Amino acid sequence: MSRIEPVDPNVADAETRALLDTVRRKLGAVPNMTRTMARSPAVLDAYLAFSGALAKTSLSADVRERIALAVGEVNGCDYCLSAHSAIGRKVGLSQEEVAAARLGRADDPKTSALLVFARELVLRRGELKDADLRAVRAAGATDAEVAEVVAVAALNVFTNWFNHVADPEIDFPIVRAGDGVSAAAAAGSER
């Protein structure tokens, strides 16, 4: 049971209802996380603005989803892993690619370097070394992409932490941190 009660869109005030309608238009549904964020319209508005802005980055939707999966796995956020596994599949990721992303891996060297960078960023709370920047740049990442990875990772840390605190009911096919990810990623790499 959620530790912060989700807002019922049918009885929400006008401002909150408008924000939830934005979510519905964008996703086709209103997930429990956003209904819970709606307890504070400012929080939901900030989340929507940040995620909307990041949709305009040079990072493709599948790379942003892979980063979300890598960060969600590091932070052990079952809600975000469930949501981004489902969304990742919608943007074209295979089950093996989803599992690999959770471990910070991808077949494409540049994408792999971006995922390693994102994981290290979270694991070391932003305290990366010059060698980390050299490695991601050597794989072809631009400074703009580095900045965008930091922002996408930060958005996902926010949602991971929000979900740890609020504990909304997972309304996607459930994925648990650590569950079978190593075996699935290994199976995908054997091809």
Please report, for the domain that includes residue 159, its CATH number.
1.20.1290.10
**How many domains does the chain contain in total?**
2
Residues 31 and 69 in one domain: no
Q: What is the pLDDT along the chain (191 residues), one digit of tens a residue?
A: 899 999 999 999 999 999 999 999 988 999 999 999 999 999 999 999 999 999 999 999 999 999 999 999 999 999 999 999 999 999 999 999 999 999 999 999 999 999 999 999 999 999 999 999 999 999 999 999 999 999 999 999 999 999 999 999 999 999 999 986 654 555 554 43
- How many degrees, rounded to 5, is the angle at CA 94 between CA 93 and CA 96? 120
Domain range for 176 is 61-189
Domain finish residue from 35, 54, 73? 54
Q: Are residues 168 and 184 in the same domain?
A: yes
Tell me the pLDDT tens digit for each residue of 36-49: 999 999 999 999 99
In a domain, 2, yes or no: no
69 within a domain of the structure (yes/no): yes
What pTM value is reported for the model? Answer: 0.93
